[in-house]
Amino acid sequence: MKLLSFMIALLLVTHNALAAPLAAFNSKTALCFGCHGSTGISDNSFHPILAGQKKSYLIKQLTDFKTARRQEEHMSSMVKALNAADINDIAAYFSGQSRKRAQANRLSNAAGKQLYFKIISAETNLSCSSCHGIDGSGDAMTAAPIIAAQHANYLIKTLKDFRSHQRHNDPDDAMRMMTEHLTDSEIEILADFISTMR
C-alpha cells in the first residue's frame, strides 16, 4: 500500500513537472514572436531567423546570452526570465520549424561563392565551407550552426561583431580567427551569398 501511494505521488510530481514548463513556454515565447516571428522567420532583417536552426546551437546561444558570454541589448534582457527547461522547450520549438521562405529570384553571386569556398586562414587552412558545409547546413563536429538562408543584414552584423571581438562566444576563437582578415566588402559579399544558399 505504501508503495502504491508512493507511485501515485511520483506520477503526480512527474505530471506537474511536465505541465509547468509548457505553460511557461507559451507566455514566454509570445515575447520572442514579436521579433523573431511566430515560426522563427523574422521580418526585420537584423533579427536572426531561428526556424530550423540546430537545437544545440539555440540552447548554447540562449545560455550564452544568459551568462553574458554573448551580449546584445535586446537579447540580454529577454533571457533573464528563462530557466534551463524554458530554454530547452524554446530551442526545440524553433528548431522544429521550417526554414524555407519565399524569396525573389536573385542574380547568382559568383564572387561570394568563391570566397565561401576559399582557404581564408593560412594558419588553419580552412574555408567557411570546412565547418559550415558546402550548403551552409553546419556541422556537428565543430558545432558550426546552419547559416544558409539567414538574413544578410544580420550576417553582416554578426560577422563584423566577431571581427571586432564584440561577439566572442565562438568555441576556440574559430570565428574571430576566420573574420580577422576579411574586409567590409568581403563580409558583405559573403553575407549576400550565404543568405541565398538553400
Site string for ligand HEC, 83-122 (x = CB under 6 A): -------x-----------------------------x--
Name residue 111's amino acid.
A
Site string for ligand HEC, 166-195 (x = CB under 6 A): ---xxx--xx--x-----------x-----
Task: Supply 100's cell numbers.
Answer: 524555407
- Which listed residue (159, 188, 189, 197) binds ligand HEC by CB under 6 A? 159
Return the number of other C-beta atoms located less than 10 Å from residue 44's C-beta: 13
152 forms part of the interface with ligand HEC (CB under 6 A): no
46 forms part of the interface with ligand HEC (CB under 6 A): yes
3-state secondary structure labels for all residues of 133-187: CCCCCCECCCCECCCCCCCHHHHHHHHHHHHHCCCCCCHHHHHHHHHCCCCHHHH
13-21, 54-62, 95-103, 106-114 -> range binding ligand HEC (CB under 6 A)? 54-62
Task: Return the sign of the alpha-carbon dihedral for residues 167, 62, 59, 197.
Answer: negative
Angle (nearest 5°) at CA 66 between 65 and 71? 35
Give the footprint of ligand HEC on this chain (CB under 6 A). Answer: 28, 31-32, 34-36, 46-48, 50, 58, 60-62, 72, 74-75, 78, 90, 120, 126, 128, 130-132, 142-145, 147, 155, 157-159, 169-171, 174-175, 178, 190
